[in-house]
Structure formats: structure tokens, C-alpha cells
A and B are shown apart, each in its own frame.
Chain A
């Protein structure tokens, strides 16, 4: 187990300076994610143009893995439609959980999260933002979720 595999420069950078951090006024969807085990709290806000995520923000408090993962996610999904996001989530999930997963060059910067799979206790930190995004998208263009 090598710490450098987990805390790569990309992760540390996105933790220090998370992208798309903050809220969206009157979002088309929002959801709150919570990891009671470690106290991570995350809210994801999306603005949709039809099926496409036109804009996305997140805010919350969490560890470096959850913050960096959320930041990387917002960069990766902005401009993509729901189907493409679902497909991307599946590939990220494989990356996080499957030790035998072949390198996936199409993931771009998200591939920096591959070290997480060596740390099973931390997989939930990295996947929390994706589950929260899913919930935000499920609530559809007219609905604002949970609160």
C-alpha cells in the first residue's frame, strides 16, 4: 500500500482547490449525500438543458478523497447527457472497486482515483458524490429534491 497511489498530485490539487464549488441558484435538481461513517456531507446542484447537464456545482465538507472526487466529477460530467453520465459512473465504479480492471484511458483525470481501490475503507468516500449526482438527476428538471 503506497500512500502516493492514493494521494496523487491531481487529488491533492482538487482537494485544495475544488472546481465548481458552491451552489446553483434555482437548480433543476439537487441532492444531499451523507456518509455517516465519517461525517462526509455533500450537496450536488445541477442545471439541465433537456437531457444535458449544462451546469453543476457541489458543496460540502469531506475528506480529500471525497472532495477531490466530487471536483473531478463536476468537470467530467459538465456538458454530458444523462445516458453518458450513467455510463461514466459505471466505469468509475469499476475503477474504484475492481483490482483487475484494465487501465481506462478514456477516463482522463478521473483515473487518478484508481489508487482508492487499494484502500477499501475509502471507496465510499470517492463514490458518494456520484450517488448524490444520480439522486439529483433522478428528480428531473422540475423538481428540487430533499429540502
Chain B
């Protein structure tokens, strides 16, 4: 990911009002106030371009893929495999064989856990994660540890919410078989030094899985430049529908892995004596896949590139900087996660007001933020808070919405005295 883009003003060419017109849901009124949607890190909204691509597929092209000679089956196959090629270009993978469609990041990580780790790791082997991980990058590895007897190690973070890199290096050793890390922390917004992590892990002989769910919407990701062995992300945080996600894996690794789920589409031949498995990527896509989701994901990638991911990143960095400064001036607000390199996520608490109450009061003003543990309970434990409120920014948020957040927070202060 690019160096910290903070202190970059929104480029004058970035027309956020035009962007907003692409997102019909943003004109919704909530509790008598215009919606201020600051929860894109949980799930981003979809632009018309995505909604229309999905509708167009369902209206004109739907049938089952890889199965028929009739026209619609071929159209559906072309749309689905076309989406795979779109994904390949978006993350600069070498081949569409390395792009596995999944339900989302969670399924992609579980696939690697069960098809790679479970078959290869033994007692004495170690999986190294960080203290910043989302539950989706913790629990699948705990399950593998129970299944194989291997051990889970956790690299610590500091009070700013940054990975303690020296401590990470100390935990990395000859027993480490896999390093599984977030590219960007969902709870705090911290951008992890994944290039250095990959280099160190490879030097130690370990593979690296990167959970990129929070990274791909905010920065250009090049899986080959990163040197990632596995990279995972979800469509719905990328302005695409839910239920579609991606596992990128290096071809030689995927080739050596057994299938995860069995069924149709993942086989070449089936007899009661023995079945032979399909080639990559279909070996890992048992059953009828989510074609309309894949089409929506491809459309979302087209959309992002039409805006320019660097322009989106600069716009979000500008909003983050504004919001950080504004929240610092509200009495009783404590920012949780103040890393030097951050994506557009602002996690915070307000003294004397529980995050859940904050969420309700903000909602009464039309401001949607996430409140709770953000599926990262160990992060909350580390900072000694039960929950935080989290505002996250996307391509469609505005300076006016930062002001609306600030005014809603002052309202909360007023209610609680």
C-alpha cells in the first residue's frame, strides 16, 4: 500500500457530489435527517453501475455456468469467467487460475485453513498472526490448531495500535509455517507493513496469507508486487454485493492443495470407484457459484477504476485528517488507534457514554456508525474498552458529513451531561 497519504487535500478533480449521485441509497432520510453513512468498513453501499450490471445479468444472461451448450449458459459462463479476469487485473494476479471466487473473506481464509494448513501442519508447527486481527483471521487458525496440534502465536501491538515489528520478528522462526495478517485493521484502521512482513516471513521459510478485506477499497493492491502467497477480500466492502469474495493463491500452492468442498463443477469425472478433480480455479468452486455477485464485483472494480483508486484514497485521507482533528477537539473523546499509517477508519470512545448509547444518539441524528467490538474482541481487550464507536469513510463521504458527525457527538455530550 502507498505511503501514508495524509495531509493530501482532496484533488480538485474529485467531484464527490457527482459520485454521490451514483449511490441512490445516500438520498435516504433517517429519523428525519439526511443519511450520513459512515459505516463503509462494515459494508459499503453499491453504485447504480453495480446495481445495473447485476440487473442486466439477471435480466438477460442468467443460466447455470459451465454446463450447457445453450446460449444463456454460454452467456452466463462468459459473464462469470469475464468477472474472474476483471478481478485478476484488479489485483494484478498472473493468471485467472489463481482467482477463486468465495462467499467472502471469511470463506477464503477458511478454505486456506482447511485445504492447505490442515493437510500440512503438525504438532510443533506454528501459525503467526497479529493482535489486530478480525475474528475471521483468528478462529479458522484456532480450528486448525485443534485439528492438527499446531500452535497459534500472536504478535503484539503498541498503544497506537501498530504492530510491534521487532516482537513480530522474534516470534517468527523455523517452526513458523504460516503468517496470517490483516493488510488494514478493520477495528482501528492501522495499515500493516505487509511488504516487510512478507519479506521477513519468506526469509524464515513461512508462507503469508493477507486478509485484504479493508485494504482493497482504499489502495491499489498488487499481489505479485506484494509477494503474497494468499490474498483474500470481500466484494461488499468494495461497493459490490454481499456473498461474493476472492481468494487469490499462487498457482503452485493451489495446484498442490486438495479440494475443500466436493460436488458439481469441481470434478472432471465421477464414478463410484473414483472421481477426478477439475483444474484450477474450478477445483475450489464446488456447486453453482454466485454468478450475479461476481458480475457485480467486476462492475464495482470498473467503477472504482473510473474514479481512480488513488483519487479515492486521497479523498478519504483528507476526510480522515479532518475528522481526526475535529474529534480531538470534543471533550471526552478518546481516539482508539492512532497509528502513523491509517486507512479511513476512526475508532473512538466518549467518556461516560457507552459506545452503544453513542450509536443510538448518532442514529437519531441520521449518522450511521458501527458500535461494538467490530469482530475484534482481542483488540478491545488490549485497549481495555468493551466497545468503541467506529466511523469509516468511503468514496462518497463529504466534509459536510464529518461536520454532521461532530455535531451529533456534541448532541451525545449534551444528552449525557
Contacts and interface: CB of A to CB of B under 8 A. Distances in A.
Interface in A34-61: 37-41, 61
B113 to A, nearest CB: 23
B74 to A, nearest CB: 46
A3 B361 contact: yes
A1 B357 contact: no
A68 to B, nearest CB: 10
Interface stretch (A23-31, A119-127, A138-146): A119-127
B354 A63 contact: yes
A10 interface: no
A125 B416 CA distance: 18
Given A3-B364, A12-B416, A64-B416, A41 B357 contact: no
Interface in B356-408: 356-357, 360-361, 364, 371-373, 377, 380, 386-387
A125 B380 CA distance: 19
Interface in B60-91: none
Contacts of B28: none
Interface in B317-363: 352-357, 360-361
B356 A38 contact: yes
Nearest to B414: A3
Contacts of B356: 38, 40, 62-63, 65, 122, 125
Given A12-B417, A39-B386, A64 B357 contact: yes
A67 B357 CA distance: 11
B158 interface: no
A125 B356 CA distance: 9
B364 A1 contact: yes
Given A12-B416, A39-B372, A62 B354 contact: yes
Nearest to B361: A3
Contacts of B373: 39
A21 interface: no
Contacts of A16: 352
B3 interface: no
Nearest to A7: B415
B386 A41 contact: yes
B27 interface: no
A65 B358 CA distance: 12
A62 B364 CA distance: 20
B360 A6 contact: yes
Given A39-B372, A39-B386, A41-B386, A122 B354 contact: no
Given A63-B356, A125-B356, A39 B364 contact: no
B288 interface: no
A38 B415 contact: no
Contact of A1 (B31, B355, B371, B380): B31
B42 to A, nearest CB: 13
B360 A38 contact: no
A62 B371 CA distance: 13
Contacts of B377: 39
B183 to A, nearest CB: 26
A122 B371 contact: no
Contacts of A122: 356, 360
Contacts of B386: 39-41, 61-62
B36 to A, nearest CB: 16
B372 A38 contact: yes
Contacts of B353: 64
Given A38-B371, A38-B372, A38-B387, A63 B31 contact: no
Contacts of A40: 356, 386
Contacts of A61: 386
A64 B354 contact: yes
A119 B387 contact: no
Q: Residue among A41, A61, A63 with the most chain B CB within 10 A? A: A63
A38 B361 CA distance: 15
Contacts of B31: 1
Contacts of A12: 415-417
B402 to A, nearest CB: 22
8 contacts: A38-B356, A39-B377, A39-B386, A40-B356, A63-B356, A63-B357, A119-B360, A125-B356
Give me the 5 closest cross-chain CB pairs, A-B, nearest first: A63-B354, A63-B356, A39-B386, A38-B356, A39-B387
Given A38-B356, A38-B372, 10 more contacts: A1-B31, A3-B415, A7-B415, A12-B416, A38-B371, A39-B380, A40-B386, A41-B386, A64-B354, A122-B360
Interface of B: 31, 352-357, 360-361, 364, 371-373, 377, 380, 386-387, 411, 415-417
